[in-house]
Structure 1
């Protein structure tokens, strides 16, 4: 079963990423696999990122996380998280 609260956070981020022209969807391959957000820049499909949502080890608060395991942003500010992801996936930066 998916942790509904975290899926909700990821869905909020989907909406915010859409305002930056990015395509995102919540993914879970199998029922026992972790859920994550697949984000793609439609202008350059090779620019993509997987974002997860989980608590930080030093707190019970949930955060968005980059695929490489670094804390991305607090879940209470999906707009701020979307700005960071959009910067990383910006075609002009690559």
Structure 2
């Protein structure tokens, strides 16, 4: 736990909370999302472009030495989890119907 602005300890966020936050942002942008909780594996956020259902991706949230990050399923970083707007921008760009 880390101290917040009031000097009290703030609870650390969970992987699911980060995925839900990104999911909320992507839903506002018109994407369909589903939180996937497979047994024995890390949760992921399944994102689909409703205008082109073949354009889908599973997004992960992982904590490293330098904080929490969103990751593509092919193990490339998307953006820091603290910057949900930037992560949503990149996901929207990759899943855009052209």
Gapped regions of structure 1 (runs ≥ 5) = none
Q: Secondary structure at the match of 2:30?
A: coil
Larger Rg: 2
Relative to the length of structure 2, the TM-score reads 0.82
Q: Secondary structure at the match of 2:55?
A: strand
Gapped regions of structure 2 (runs ≥ 5) = 1-12
Structure showing the higher helix proportion among its residues: 1
Relative to the length of structure 1, the TM-score reads 0.85
Q: Following superposition of structure 1 onto structure 2, how do residues 66-77 of structure 1 map, counting pairs within 5 Å? A: 66-77=72-83
Query: RMSD of the alignment, in Å?
Result: 1.2
Compare relative contact order (CA 8 Å, sep 6+) and give the higher one, 1 or 2.
Answer: 1
